[in-house]
Every structure is written in structure tokens, then in C-alpha cells.
Structure 1
Amino acid sequence: MNAVSHTKAQPAPISAARPALVADDAQALEAAYRLAVDFARGSGARDADRLLPWSELERYSASGLWGATVPRAHGGAEISTVTLARVIATVAAADGSLAQIPQNHFYALEVLRVGGSEEQKRFFFERVLAGDRLGNALAEVGQRDFRRRTRLVREPGGWHVDGEKFYCTGAIYAHWIPTLVVAEEAGEEVSYLAFVPRDAQGVTVIDDWDGFGQRVTGSGSVRFERVRVEPEWVVPFKASFDRPTTIGPHAQIMHAAIDLGIGLGAFEEMLRFVRERSRPWLDSGVERASDDPLTLHQVGHVRLRLRAAEALVERAAAEVDAAQRAPDEDSVARASIAVAKARILTTKAGLLAADKLFELSGTSATQSEDNLDRYWRNVRTHTLHDPVRWKYQAVGNFHLNGKRPPRHGAI
């Protein structure tokens, strides 16, 4: 069986309880709002002490949201990408780490929807609706494209996975770990997504993520030592990028929603702090910090940037929905560029909100007991997922030269 190493507490057993089923988009949003109130209460303590959110994650799963994108043909609500982005942003405003944990779960479901066989869809969608969580083991340390050394070995006695991955957000909490593997085929390396059971012989999940932000995402290492996988658990991956699909923009809109949500959470904390605890600057001539004219100007500026980011996320998510309905070269390119624009602005707005939380609240906001720096640490860490400077390039090249962006998960 697998060994799970932890720097703090040992993991709780993964529940097998069947979650509720989300019926539609409105129900998904309602569930997200309820959970956000719940998650906000302990988010500071979880971050400060690096307490992995096992009980919160169980409630998150039980809400039915993790199965909400499953297609209606397979028993799910098939909520829109617009709604999914709102759900993620709502949760991220309460706890950035909890918002990121299921990102790769939804990503794997999109890979299945686009590239899986009908039998694979039927099996894994049913497992997700029954409560199974999907993690990820995609990236590797030390490779130019971060992915290429973990192998799928096909032998007469069975198929096996060998390798090691890092940045495996959600793997420690998962029932299945979708793992990017490569296999040699006719002299060429072909990539697949192998759905590996977390408790399979030879799987070691290591809780060694020590980033200063997103501290309880469990984004550590997974090691695979001759781990047996069944052929029906292996889904084509490269083939889904050889043609226009929404896997890339679907992944990226969720990242945008996380950054947006963390920024919105920082903004709300700033409003509360300025109202309740900040002092006006002595030259302002006012009695309350909330009446300081320069503070009011900056609050308005931050809110405007966040609202613009919200609008771009919603517009981009609608483009992803349209491309899912009718994927072709142009619709997927439009979706990818719209999402790139949203990622640019959510990065800038999220960082701005986290920075202004301290600038406008004052020195007392830096006290460790409040742990307000988690907003800046979380958004700074998550916005490094992939370089926003390349998104400017993609947007400019599209509008100036009519060049479609590359098809991969980072655009």
C-alpha cells in the first residue's frame, strides 16, 4: 500500500459517503455561498498552523460541487463555465487554498469529457458523482516542459507507471491521481493521462509543499514505483491538443477565478479593518479613517479594478462555454485569448487588493494574530502558476498579426 508522509498531521481517512447532487447552476452557486461562510471562519488558523483542511474538504465534496460539471448525459448538472468560475471565486474569497484544491479535479473531468472513450466517461463520471475526488500529478522538477520523465510502460504482464511528480495539488486528498505519463510509440513520445488509484501499490504521496502561500493545498510530491494501471484508466492527452479543444482555456479560467476570489477576499478584509480599527491620518481633518478622502480614492480604485477583472472573467468563461458547444480553430482561439486577458487582469487586481489591504489599513494590520498577510502570500504564490507576461504576448500577437495562441494548458 502507499505511504503518506506528512510534515504536520497524519491524513484523515477519505470518506466514501455519497455526496448530494447539484441540480443546476443556481443550486451550485447557493452551495458555494454557504460553504464560503463556513470556510472563512477558520481560514486564518489553517494557514497559520498549516492545518490540512480534511473536514472542510469533506463538506466541500458532500455539497455535490465536485460533480457539478459532469455532463447531464452522465447524470451531472453540467453547470456552465461561467458558474464554475463564480463558484471558485466565491470559495477563494474565503480560503484561497480550498479554492485551488479541486482545480485539477475539474481539469481532469474536462480531459475526460474531451478525450475519453464512452466507457471511460461512464466509469469515471459515475465515480465522481459517487464522491471520488481527483488530484493531479502533472508537473516535474528539472525538465524544460516539467512533464516528460514519468513513463507508462506497457509489458505483456500489465501496464505500469514509473516516475516522480511535484506541484501535485490535491493528490493527498484524492481517491484517484490523474498522472501525465509518456509512452514510446513508433519512435515518438506520446502523452496520456493515467488515472492512478491513490492507494495503489507503489504510490507514495509526500506532503513536502513548503511555499509561503497556498500553504494547505497539499501541492507536494508523488512517487510512482512500478504502479500497475489498467488500460481503461489511461486517457489520450496529446491527441486532445492536436485538435482545437477547450482543455487549455478551461484550466486557465479556473486559475483566473482563484486570483480574483483571493483579491475579493482581501478587499473585504480591508473594508472591515478600515471601518473598525484604522485611524485617520492626522492631516486628513476627519475623525474616522473611513472618511479619509485619499483612502476613499484608493478604495474606489481597487474596487474598480476588481470589478473589471470580474467582468473579464465572466466574459471569458462565456467564450469557453461557446467553444465547448462548437469547438473549432477560431472558437477555441477566441476563448483562449479571452481567458488570457482575464488572467492578466485578475493577476494585477488580486495583487493590488492584497497590497492595498495593508497600505490603507495601516501598521496594525500586520500583526501576526490577524494573519492578513495570507491574502498577499496566497495571491502572489498562485499568480506565479504560469507567467502573465506571456499572456500579453499572446493577446498582442492575436490582435496585431491574427496569430492564434498555442494549444496547451498554460494559455
Structure 2
Amino acid sequence: MSENDRRLHREAALIAGRPAPHVPPRRTKAYRIKDDREAVAVARELAREFAIGAAERDRERRLPLAEIERFSQSGLWAITVPKAHGGAGVSAVTLAEVTAIISAADSSIGQIPQNHFYMVEALRLAGSEEQKRHFFGRILDGDRLGNAFTEIGTRTPVDFRTRLRKENGRLLLNGQKFYSTGSLFAHIVVAVAKDENERVNLVFIDRATPGLDLVDDWTSFGQRSTGSGTVTFDDVEVTAFEVVDHDGVFERPTPMGPLAQIVHSAVQVGLARGALAETISYVRAHARPFFELSIKHGFEDPHTIHAVGDVSIRVHAADALLARAGRLLDAATETPTEDTVAVASIAVAEVKALATETAQLASTKLIELGGARSTLESYGLDRFWRNARTHSLHDPVRWKYHHIGNYYLNGLLPPRHGAI
């Protein structure tokens, strides 16, 4: 990339958005969560806090800087660090439930650490012991990892132009990323780049490293406060210690793919829970009966009662599938084989498919049953549908059905990658 191209990249991103907010170095060490039960309890406490102001943050596109600091300082961002390295090493069941609890309150906040947990798993599977000690230690202390994975303008979302190359004895990173969820809040930005041998690597870069630029230019109609904007790398000098092989974790059976996807699935489960809870609350408080009925309250409408019952069943089914997928993922983590990883991947695909459709149904019924007044901007109820629809585009549900059907009908194992 020429100097002129780099300058144009930076200028285009800045024109489209705002400079990244200042995230100072961490000043205090995070609380260390001891076990699964505590992790769920802490998540429930934080969810109550995050629900306050969720509609306003969405409406104003306000980045949840204080909330993310509270989130990581609570210890929840370190719950997957292995016990051997001082972490709680919680189960996948617990990780998914924590994500769903937070996402029901604010799905943008629930999504932000998804790539953080993905990179923690990459370190567990492919990092050297020295890298694990260093990065796990920082994560336990409260440092956050951000994602610089996907690029725009390539044939597919997993084609990478970002390059890691040696030049005059230095290891340099150059390229530009979009959909960089979490990087605006990160202490360490993790870039995905190809090396000179065309292997895909993860590069762990301190936020303040010269040549690394972040821009807040995420303008989607949903998940507005995830900070999923642009990251540019302009001759960023890194060391071999900061590089972890990404290809290797998919060249053998590992839980990497289903681990990535169960967090996304849990975001959708949380959205479905949140939309259902809002429906019940709003209908009980505000919905009026149809004028052909002689009933006094909207919540006595038989069609409304039926719709809430239908959505409730689907949400509870998604809950059950999420827990089941977590248990099968835990089994695959304990004994990773072709079969156990495939079973976990299919189970996660099942909950992702159902939860995605249920979240959209629940968020649509919220407006339908609430009536015309429920569309007022002051309520912000449309955010549930916008967030569910936007987040669902991370990877298409139609391909979940394809892999699930091929597995059960034809005995074909799903591919190993981060989207299944």
C-alpha cells in the first residue's frame, strides 16, 4: 500500500465518521470471578444497570464507554480464561447464559465482547505458554480485546488484503478493516492478517501503537452502539510475540467455531427474551382493546393472549436449545474430535437458526400488539427489531439450515470455520 493510499484510507474513514474516543490505559485491576454461579449472578446485576438508558443510547448512537468499563471491571470479560492460568474457566453453558442476560438488557453491549471471547479461545488453543501468561494476565486484570477481522470490498467477508510482512528486519502490518466490533473500547486490537506464506494470523496490538487508527463510522440502523467501525494499520510495527497462527485452529478439530457462534446465538436469545419482556410490560400498561370487543383491557384480547403464548413457547425453546448447545460444546472442549466438534457445531447452528427467527418474531409482535403508540420514538421499542435484524446478518441463517439438513440427512459434517 502506497503512502498516498494510506492517507486516502484514513481521510475517507474520518469523513464518514468521528475519531475514536479516548480509552485510557486501565488504572485498576478487575474483580476476579470465582465460578459459574458467580458469573451468572454478576451478569444479572449488571443487566439491571444496563437496561436503564438502553433506549437513549440507541437513539443517540451513544457509545457505552462507562458501561463497558463497568462490564470488564466486573470480571465478566475474563470468565473464559482457563483455571490453570488463574481464570474461572466457566462452561460454555455459562458463557452463553451471561451473554443472553446482558443482551436482553442491551444487545449492543451483549455483542461487544463476542470477539474478545473468540480471541481468548484462540490464545488457549494456539498461543505459546509465554503468550498465554502475558495476555491472560492482562485480561484477568481487566484489559479488553477488540476485533479487526472483516474487510469490505473483497469477494467474500473472509478474503483478507491486510498483510503482515517482513521489511528491513521489521515485521510490519498494513491494511484496513471494517465491522471492527469492540475495537473502539479495546486496550488491545486483534487484527487478522495474511503473512508472506498466505497463512492467516491474529496480531495482538496495543491500542496506542503508532500507525494504528480507529474511526467511529458505524452507521447501521441497528446495533448502533457496538462501535463496529474502521481500523487502519499503516506500517504498524509488531513483534513475533504478538502473532498467533489462526489457520491452525481450524486445521484440526477444535471448539473454536461453535464457541464463536454460541455467543452470537446467545445475543439473539437475549434479544428474544428482551422483546418478549417488553411486550408483556407494554401491553399490560398501555395496549387498548380492539373496538369490536367489550373487554376493558388490551391484555384481555384473546388474539393478544394467543400471540404472547406463541412467542413465549418459542423463546423457551430457544433457551433450551442454547443450554443444550452449551453442554455439547463443553463436551467437545473436553474431548475435541471430528464427531464431538461436529455435534457441537450443529447444536449451535440449531439454536442460532431458531433464536434468530424468534428474536425477529418477538420484536415484531412487540410493535403489533402494542399498537400505534408503541412506535413513538420516546419508547424506543423499534430497537429490538432493528438490532435483531442487523445482528442476524453476521452470518445467514439459510446456511444454518443447509448444514443442519446435510448433517442429519446425508451424514455430512459441517465445515470448520468461525461461522458454523
TM-score, normalisation: structure 2: 0.94
Offset of residue 14 of structure 1: 4.7
Q: 2:162 aligns with which of 150, 155, 163?
A: 150
Matches within 5 A, 1:41-80: 41-80=52-91
* 3-state SS in 2 of match to 1:135: strand
Contact (CA 8 Å) 1:11, 1:54: kept in 2 or not? Answer: no
Residue matched to 2:346 = 337
Residue matched to 1:109 = 120
Q: Distance in 1 between matches of 2:387 and 2:25?
A: 26
Offset of residue 402 of structure 1: 0.6
Q: 1:164 aligns with which of 161, 173, 176?
A: 176
- Percent of residue pairs identical: 49
Matches within 5 A, 1:380-391: 380-391=389-400
Residue matched to 1:26 = 37
Matches within 5 A, 1:217-296: 217-296=226-305
Contact (CA 8 Å) 2:23, 2:186: kept in 1 or not? Answer: no
Q: Distance in 2 between matches of 1:357 and 1:8?
A: 36
2:220 pairs with 1:208: no
Contact (CA 8 Å) 2:99, 2:270: kept in 1 or not? Answer: yes
Contact (CA 8 Å) 1:16, 1:131: kept in 2 or not? Answer: no
Q: 1:352 aligns with which of 356, 361, 373?
A: 361
Offset of residue 7 of structure 1: 3.2
Residue matched to 1:361 = 370
Q: Distance in 2 between matches of 1:321 and 1:339?
A: 12
Q: Distance in 1 between matches of 2:131 and 2:400?
A: 34
Contact (CA 8 Å) 1:139, 1:167: kept in 2 or not? Answer: yes
**1:209-260 per-position Cα deviation (integer Å, ceiling 9, x unaligned):** 1000000100001000010111011001111111111111000000000011
Q: Identify if the C-alpha distance between structure 1 residues 137 and 10 changes in structure 2 by more than 3 Å, giving closer, same or farther.
A: closer
Segment drifting more, 64-73 vs 9-18 = 9-18
Q: 1:174 aligns with which of 186, 190, 199?
A: 186
Q: Distance in 2 between matches of 1:372 and 1:93?
A: 13
Offset of residue 9 of structure 1: 8.4
Q: Identify if the C-alpha distance between structure 1 residues 325 and 256 changes in structure 2 by more than 3 Å, giving closer, same or farther.
A: same
> Which residue identity does 1:292 align to in structure 2?
D
Offset of residue 400 of structure 1: 0.9
* 3-state SS in 1 of match to 2:155: coil
Residue matched to 1:404 = 413
> Which residue identity does 1:86 align to in structure 2?
E
Matched residue count: 406
Offset of residue 156 of structure 1: 4.6
2:57 pairs with 1:85: no
Q: Distance in 2 between matches of 1:367 and 1:104?
A: 34
Q: Distance in 2 between matches of 1:327 and 1:153?
A: 33
Contact (CA 8 Å) 1:35, 1:91: kept in 2 or not? Answer: yes
Offset of residue 10 of structure 1: 4.0
Segment drifting more, 147-156 vs 32-41 = 147-156
TM-score, normalisation: structure 1: 0.97
Contact (CA 8 Å) 1:284, 1:293: kept in 2 or not? Answer: no
Q: Distance in 2 between matches of 1:349 and 1:337?
A: 18
* 3-state SS in 2 of match to 1:23: coil
Residue matched to 2:107 = 96
Q: Identify if the C-alpha distance between structure 1 residues 8 and 125 changes in structure 2 by more than 3 Å, giving closer, same or farther.
A: closer
Q: Distance in 1 between matches of 2:69 and 2:311?
A: 34
Which sections of structure 2, spanning at least 5 residues, go unmatched? 1-9
Contact (CA 8 Å) 1:139, 1:166: kept in 2 or not? Answer: yes
Matches within 5 A, 1:106-145: 106-145=117-156
Segment drifting more, 274-283 vs 24-33 = 274-283
Which sections of structure 1, spanning at least 5 residues, go unmatched? none
Q: Distance in 1 between matches of 2:265 and 2:213?
A: 31
Contact (CA 8 Å) 1:9, 1:51: kept in 2 or not? Answer: no
* 3-state SS in 1 of match to 2:281: helix
